[in-house]
Amino acid sequence: MRAATEYRTSVNSLAPLAPWAFVVMWASGAIFAELGLRYASPVPFLAVRAVLAALIAWTVTRWTRDTRPVGRGDRGRAVVVGLIMQVGYQGMFFLSLDFGISPGMLAAVLGVQPLLTASVAGRRRAPWAGLVIGLGGVVLVVANHTAPGDLLTATNGVGAALAAMVCMTLGTIAQRKLTDIGLWRSIALQHTAASCVFVLLALTSEQPVVSSGAGFWVAEAWMAVVVSTGATALLHAMARTGNATRVASLFYLVPPVTAVLDLAVFGTALRPHQWLGMTAVVLSVFLVEHRITDRTKGK
């Protein structure tokens, strides 16, 4: 019990740092996902990641003594959120990278996610100015593909990225309803559901692991511990206690951080028009956030 109490105290003391820690941890996901795909196909990599993340989450659940009674409906909702965020989002995320989209470009496309969240969660007329600017920014980001084959690859990659964006939006909003189940137990159930899906797909698909060298396990460990456990816990905690749109607006910081990491690790530099597109995405999110803030003050 003492360990659990000390854990909750330490978490509360670090709350002001949570948004900044989340941005850096989440932004690193695209980098280590790209690294992992150099050693394994998406499905086997995701299967190992999900199993590791589930084991970690259940260990933390037991350590924090999350003994709150959980109804069948709560378990079901947690599993549904897991299927949306851990299977839908992660699957489309990795598929986009597998199509050849760079981590920086993927982050820029996903930067539109706060706009979609604002439109869905706001329950009012969509902020069309912000949406148009954001979508225009995405077009600029992917506009460097001129060859037909490159254009097809970019289109497939962006399509997968947009699907990931939709899943993340729905998952972030749905997560706010999981208030009657402990945070870590919810995460554990979500990763367990994802494990079942990805392990089954790995066993029935023809996507073998290419190599199980040190790089593979470094990427798996980082994705399981830092992204799937740490960053996901921060996202869920903030989603439960904060406005869904404001939580989603943190994602506007992810593209530039990912682009810097992509340049530092892989040497992938965005072209000037792509930086302009990324700037447009950031501006669009600011416009949406400003509009929602004005509406809130006007109530």
Residue by residue, DSSP assigns 236-288 as: HHHHHHS-HHHHHHGGGGHHHHHHHHHHHHH--PPPHHHHHHHHHHHHHHHHH
114 within a domain of the structure (yes/no): yes
Q: Is the pLDDT of residue 265 over 70?
A: yes
Region 96-119: mean pLDDT is 76
9 within a domain of the structure (yes/no): no
Higher pLDDT among residues 31 and 293, named by residue? 31
Rounded distance between C-alpha atoms, residue 125 and residue 189, angstroms:
35
Q: Which domain holds residue 233?
A: 18-298
279 within a domain of the structure (yes/no): yes
11 within a domain of the structure (yes/no): no
Residue 192 identity: T
23 within a domain of the structure (yes/no): yes
Q: How high is the pLDDT of residue 190? A: 93
Q: Is the pLDDT of residue 283 over 80?
A: no
Rounded distance between C-alpha atoms, residue 84 and residue 201, angstroms:
16
Query: Burial of 268 by CB count in 10 Å (0-12 exposed, 13-18 middle, 19+ buried)?
Result: middle
1 within a domain of the structure (yes/no): no
Structure tokens at 56: 């970690």
Q: How high is the pLDDT of residue 145? A: 47
Band (pLDDT 50/70/90 cuts) for residue 237 is confident
Rounded distance between C-alpha atoms, residue 132 and residue 195, angstroms:
37
Number of other residues whose CB lies within 10 A of the CB of residue 281: 30
Q: Is the pLDDT of residue 4 over 50?
A: no
Rounded distance between C-alpha atoms, residue 255 and residue 275, angstroms:
10
Residue 159 identity: G
Q: Is the pLDDT of residue 126 over 60?
A: no
Rounded distance between C-alpha atoms, residue 194 and residue 208, angstroms:
19
Q: How high is the pLDDT of residue 3? A: 45
Region 211-215: mean pLDDT is 78
258 within a domain of the structure (yes/no): yes
Tell me how far apart the terminal alpha carbons of the chain are, to the nearest angstrom. Answer: 44
Q: How many domains does the chain have?
A: 1
Rounded distance between C-alpha atoms, residue 5 and residue 137, angstroms:
46
Q: What is the pLDDT of residues 160-193, one digit of tens each?
A: 988 998 898 888 788 777 767 788 888 999 999 9
Higher pLDDT among residues 81 and 278, named by residue? 81
Q: What is the mean pLDDT of the chain?
A: 77
43 within a domain of the structure (yes/no): yes
Q: Tell me which residue has tokens 């309803």.
A: 177
Cβ–Cβ < 8 Å for 38, 239 = no
Higher pLDDT among residues 298 and 36, named by residue? 36
Query: Burial of 211 by CB count in 10 Å (0-12 exposed, 13-18 middle, 19+ buried)?
Result: exposed
Length reported for the chain: 299
Structure tokens at 3: 């360990």
H-run or E-run covering 191:
helix 183-204
Q: Is the pLDDT of residue 280 over 90?
A: no
pTM summary value: 0.77
Q: How high is the pLDDT of residue 263? A: 82
Number of other residues whose CB lies within 10 A of the CB of residue 75: 15
Q: Tell me which residue has tokens 């040497």.
A: 267
Give how far Cα 62 sits from Cα of 3, 56, 293, Å.
Answer: 11, 10, 40
